[in-house]
Amino acid sequence: MNEAYVVGHINVIDPEKWARYRQQVPATLAPWGAELVFRGNRAAILAGDDCHSSIVVIRFPDCAAVNSWYQSAAYQALIPLRQQAAEVILLSYET
């Protein structure tokens, strides 16, 4: 079984709403055995173009857990707040 990762490329629009969203996400991850690997702000662009200022990486046991988390009622309920708070691109990767 391969681990899977969700990578989010982020531009915050409303810091207060983003803080509320970030506070609620961990509870949606726990049932799927996911863990936050890191959050960070871009230090430099070394090659290519990128318009996002922040990143998040979350590790999941497998792709099925990623899909179950994303489709869960708990996470789906947070999507409107996320959309108001930031421009986010979410990608999943399998190792």
Q: How far is CA 86 from the centre of its chain?
A: 11
Q: What is the CATH number of domain 4-94?
A: 3.30.70.100
pLDDT interval class at 5 (50, 70, 90): very high
Q: Find the largest Cα–Cα distance for the chain.
A: 38
Angle in degrees, CA 88, 93, 94, rounded to 5? 160
Indicate the average pLDDT of the chain.
96
Q: In what order do the strands lie in the sheet with 86-94?
A: 35-41, 54-60, 4-12, 86-94
pTM above 0.75? yes
Place of tokens 């979350």: 58
Which residue ranges make up each domain of the chain? Answer: 4-94
- What pLDDT does residue 6 have? 98
pLDDT tens for residues 11-21? 999 999 999 99
pLDDT tens for residues 39-73? 999 999 999 998 999 999 999 999 999 999 999 99
DSSP state of 77: T
